[in-house]
Structure 1
Amino acid sequence: MNDNTTLAQQMVAAVPAASRNVNLSTDPKRMAVIKVWDAMFRGARKYVESEGFIGIHNMPHIVGVTGACENTDTLFTIDWYDGKKMFLPQSNQLYIEMLTQAIGGGRVYGEIQSFRKETKADNRRLAQFSLFEIEHVGDLDELLGHLSCIVAGAARQVAQDCPKELELFGRDAADLSNLTFKRLSYAHAIELLKTEGFPDLLWGDDLGAAEENRLTELMGPMFVTHYPADIKFFNMRNNADDPRVVNSSDLLLPLAGESAGSAEREFDADKLRHKLETSSMLEGLIRQGMKLSDFDWYLDFHKENDVKLHSGAGVGMARVAQFILGQTDIRDCVPFLINHENVI
């Protein structure tokens, strides 16, 4: 290569042709995506910092099985010392949960890369994406208030700083300046969807992309709350009035679908152990050679300490970006595309 070759051109030339994609170019849309992400994160951080959340940095990117979310089958396994099995994290939730009990104010947030061994490379799935996680001493209602302000703050910062970049994607900054979020219980969502093209949907079914898309077409950005316990993570707190459901919520955004999962955490040590022991997640882990004792440090913390009611959430920032940019394909909305078919 001669001296006039740009660094970007050198990067593209160095990558095998099969791995090349728009994310390695310097086209205007890619530059716009980078600027939008910068503004989006500044807006999210601005809110949590104004509310006294303490940032937790240098969180682990090599974890035990406690770094998993609901679907342990999508964990990336890595070789650790002496042949021990370790993983790339899906979430740092369990780690920052406990910090809410120790840090003054009981409010923490963190930013990690979440890794999912997705077998499909489509318009919804990534193998790596940014996760903005918060935990606080407080209930679900307060948590949803924080989540609303984080996403609205991210969108508002983009609208303020990146109107020209939004125009490249056909988006009007004014549409993102004052977002509001409706709420609907899971049970009511099922009944609504039955009248909107999903007559066979039953209580207890998980909502897929088609169902989420229809709900947001009807209601815009929204929270679906109080999902059945059997389809959610083991440590979500059961509702006092209806133990079949947990005090949880998924944030659904137009085009992007589920963009944040959130819930109150069970803090009673005995209930927490029982929920783990009877969970479908544990069955899956045992099939993979893991064991209940892998969670001892987490269970022991609740047994040995006076743990207060707390709740938290993980915001998938790639899907927030997809909503902000108004795109049907998440692959067009990330600075670097990492999925089953693409790595650099």
Structure 2
Amino acid sequence: MDTNTLAPKVAAATLASAHAGNRNLSTDPKRMAVIKVWDAMMRGARKYCEQEGFVTIHNMPHIVGVTGACENTDTLFTLDWYDGKKMFLPQSNQLYIEMLTQAVEGGRVCGEIQSFRKELNADNRRLAQFTLFEIEHLGDLDELLGHLSGIVRTAANEVATKCAKELALFGRDAEDIKDLTFKRMTYADAIERLKPEGFPDLQWGDDLGANEENRLTELEGPIFITHYPADIKFFNMRNNDDDPRVVNSSDLLLPLAGESAGSAEREFDGAKLRHKLETSSMLAGLIRQGMKLEDFEWYLGFHEEHDVKLHSGAGVGMARVAQFILGQTDIRECVPFLINRDNVI
């Protein structure tokens, strides 16, 4: 039998046998276009990292301790591990691959995981499972943002080059995503920029929500917001030398998608790192959930026992990058498989 004839029938039969309520399992042209766009997008991200000498870390853990949390430990999915021990599905592998930057030649590593978030809302922004593309390297925030720009730009260029027909199905012109540029603005300047734009009560120290992020991208296009207050960020982000109130961090905001990548320099001084964790609101929340400081000892101990060099890293939410590339307001239309509170296969 001609394999060109057989393949579409097999694909259709496989998809038809899945949960009928999952609209992401249809074989309509748009759904197939999403799959091709993702293929090109991920090839582009990997291409950049390969060209820049990143070592790809495979077989990344998908069953983790609490150190697999990202920022909000309340959204961890819990697993019943052996002998009743509590384990989790990962939100990030950053703590695990950070230390590899100290040993790998060139100090650059990357990898892909499925990130799991126990999101209570099933809306146009949130997924319970999505692809996270993570990088860590020896270097500072400025160099890191250069790598992030390169990853997203190369991913978008690959889609523009290979998927013009697929983009057209979503009303997207391939020229619109070629050779992207990214502005930069500090968090403090972003607060002042937003006040006359419908957010008069926004104060320094407030986190930026979806509405604020969307307005910034309407005004500025793709943009890195840098130097957030330390109190609203993950415990291991490095405080700025000139203004310790803020950390050397950045969120990449993309039009329609909002926050699409979080990044920061990592604190590398062992004593400072331990103090930051001990005084963090995150640890207090973990203790309420039955966790303890000792769960982080392997991570803290590494920094206390070794001469750790300045390093930084980022996690790129590829579903939101796809949402931006496709120009859609609803992330549920932009993933090959939709997994959220209301939908599972």
- TM-score > 0.5 by shorter chain: yes
1:319 aligns with 2:320: yes
Counterpart contact for 2:263–2:314, Cα < 8 Å: yes
- Corresponding residue for 2:148? 147
Give the aligned CA root-mean-square deviation in angstroms.
1.3
- Corresponding residue for 2:69? 68
Counterpart contact for 2:18–2:25, Cα < 8 Å: no
TM-score of the aligned structures, taking structure 2 as reference length? 0.96
Counterpart contact for 1:194–1:201, Cα < 8 Å: yes
> Could you tell me how far apart the structure 2 residues matched to 1:326 and 1:12 are?
26
- Corresponding residue for 1:104? 105
> Could you tell me how far apart the structure 2 residues matched to 1:330 and 1:257 are?
11
- Corresponding residue for 1:178? 179
Q: CA deviation at 1:178?
A: 1.0
Amino acid corresponding to residue 308 of structure 1 in structure 2:
K
Amino acid corresponding to residue 55 of structure 2 in structure 1:
I
- Corresponding residue for 1:47? 48
- Corresponding residue for 2:117? 116
Q: CA deviation at 1:24?
A: 1.0
- Output aligned runs, 1:4-23, within 5 Å: 6-8=9-11, 10-11=13-14, 14-17=17-20, 20-23=21-24
Distance 1:15 1:161, change over 3 A: closer
Amino acid corresponding to residue 63 of structure 2 in structure 1:
I
TM-score of the aligned structures, taking structure 1 as reference length? 0.97
- Output aligned runs, 1:86-105, within 5 Å: 86-105=87-106
- Corresponding residue for 1:194? 195
User: Which runs of 5 or more residues in structure 2 are unaligned?
Assistant: 1-5
Q: CA deviation at 1:312?
A: 0.2
- Corresponding residue for 1:125? 126
- Corresponding residue for 2:3? none
> Could you tell me how far apart the structure 2 residues matched to 1:21 and 1:7 are?
18
Once the two structures are superposed, residues 11-30 of structure 1 have per-residue CA deviations (whole angstroms, 9 ceiling, x without a partner) of: 4554455xx13211110001
> Could you tell me how far apart the structure 2 residues matched to 1:13 and 1:134 are?
37
- Corresponding residue for 1:276? 277
Counterpart contact for 1:11–1:24, Cα < 8 Å: no
Counterpart contact for 2:235–2:282, Cα < 8 Å: yes
Counterpart contact for 2:24–2:337, Cα < 8 Å: yes
Amino acid corresponding to residue 165 of structure 1 in structure 2:
E
- Corresponding residue for 1:162? 163
- Corresponding residue for 1:228? 229
Q: CA deviation at 1:8?
A: 4.8
Amino acid corresponding to residue 285 of structure 2 in structure 1:
G
Q: CA deviation at 1:40?
A: 0.3
State the aligned residue count. 339
Distance 1:13 1:182, change over 3 A: closer
- Corresponding residue for 1:254? 255
- Corresponding residue for 1:37? 38
User: Which runs of 5 or more residues in structure 1 are unaligned?
Assistant: none
**Shift >6 Å, 4+ stretches:** none
- Corresponding residue for 1:215? 216
Counterpart contact for 2:16–2:26, Cα < 8 Å: no
> Could you tell me how far apart the structure 2 residues matched to 1:9 and 1:98 are?
44
Q: CA deviation at 1:101?
A: 0.2
User: SS of the residue aligned with 1:100?
Assistant: helix
> Could you tell me how far apart the structure 1 residues matched to 2:266 and 2:9 are?
51
Amino acid corresponding to residue 314 of structure 2 in structure 1:
A
User: SS of the residue aligned with 2:188?
Assistant: helix
